[in-house]
Structure formats: C-alpha cells, structure tokens
Amino acid sequence: MSDFLDLFFSAGTTIRPAIALLNMLVAFGLSLIVYFVYKKSFSGVAYSKKFNITLVMLSLITTIVMNILGNSLALSMGMVGALSIVRFRTAIKDPRDTAYIFWAITIGLGCGSGNYFMIGIGTIIVGAVTIILSKNTRNDDSYLLIVRCNGDAAPMVRHKTESLYQMHKLRGETITNDYTELVYQVKYKAGQKGSRRNEIIKGLEGVYTVNMVARSGETLG
C-alpha cells in the first residue's frame, strides 16, 4: 500500500498533487473573472454562453497540461507532437474572442507554472480595463437601410429616405429586371426610434421589403 501511495504523493512525480490541485483552484477562480468580464462587456449580436464556458475549460485544461509537463523537456516535446495533430476549423468572427482565448490560455500557463501573483494581478487589471472601455465606448447610431422595390418606386423611396433620416448616404444600388434594391447608411433624427420609420417606407406603393441592420450586423426591422 505504501508503494502504491508513493506513486501519487512522492516527490519523484512531476508535480505534487497538492500543488497541482492548488493550481487548478486558482485557475478556476481567475477563469471565473474572464467569464464575468466576457458576459458583462459583450456587445455583439448573440451572446454565446457555450463559448464563455469554453474559456473556463480552456484555462483549466492548460493548467492540467502545465502540471503534466512540469520541468520535463521530454514531456514538453511529446506534448507538442501530440497537439500538432489537432486542427481547429471554427472561424472566429470577433477579434475580441481571440483575445479572450489568449487570456484564458495565459491564465492556465501562469497557474500551471505557479506564478499566482503575476497572473492574478494581470487578470484583475485586464478585466478592469476591459469593462471600463466597454462602458465608455460610444455606440454607433448609424444603420444600414435595405429597401427592395420595383423600379418605379425607387425615386419615391429615395425622397422619403431623405426626409425621414438625419443622415442618409446611398451605399449601394442593385437593379434587376424584377426589382431594385437600395442600400442606405442612415441615422435617426432626435426622438425617432423604433420601427415606425421602416413602416412608413414599407407602406409606399411598390415596396416589397424593408430591412434595418445595425452596423454590428443585428437586424432591427
């Protein structure tokens, strides 16, 4: 029994289990900060809870890898070879997601190597800066107005758009035998929120569809 326990708790192992467990607990605590910051500062179209949970998992997994490697050069080379067969096919649309992934990996590296102070202070500073900047960033109140109508209704759509919106700039125009599609970059006038402006344009004769799309890609109407 003594020999069996020595396999797990002796100093001959790569890292002591108590230290490994402490590394995991610290990594979990810091990764929760990443989880909270990502949720609090998210401003995209659709918040992904699965991605946020993946950030926590990524920190813990990286910590486990660091615990396994320890100071062993042979294990490090073997791990590099094993991970080289992994291929990631998921496209990351938001550059900030890449930063969060790198942040989660950095927490795992720091905790796995026992640099608690450096990674703890760094995580707090990065989290605070991220939340402050996300709160102070001014939202862009311009939208893309996409109107599909017949060719005869296009002049009326242009006139109505100029009268309804504070700023209006034609960004694209598609003309086919079946329809004409106008793409405007617009801004609401003071007090003009909601979809009522869209309904006015939709009520014009010859207009088929009206879409209002935020610059972030969110469909508003």
Query: Which ranges in 72-209 belong to alpha helices (H)?
Result: 73-83, 95-112, 116-136, 154-164, 196-202
Per-residue model confidence as pLDDT tens digits over 98-110: 899 899 989 988 8
- Spatial separation of the C-alpha atoms in residues 131 and 177, rounded to whole Å: 50
Q: What is 142-214's CATH topology? A: Alpha-Beta Plaits (3.30.70)
Give the span between the Cα atoms of 132 and 123, in whole angstroms.
Answer: 14
**Side-by-side strand order, sheet with 207-214:** 165-175, 180-188, 142-149, 207-214
The candidate with the shortest Cα–Cα distance to 110, out of 61, 52, 65, 63, is 63
Which pLDDT score is estimated for 165?
Answer: 76
Query: Who contacts 12 (Cβ-Cβ below 8 Å, separation ≥6)?
Result: 6
* Domain extent listing, the chain: 2-136, 142-214
CA distance 98 to 86: 18
Task: Tell me the average pLDDT across 181-202.
Answer: 70
Q: What is the pLDDT of residues 108-148, one digit of tens each?
A: 888 888 888 999 999 999 999 998 888 765 455 677 888 88
User: What is the pLDDT averaged over residues 37-51?
Assistant: 80
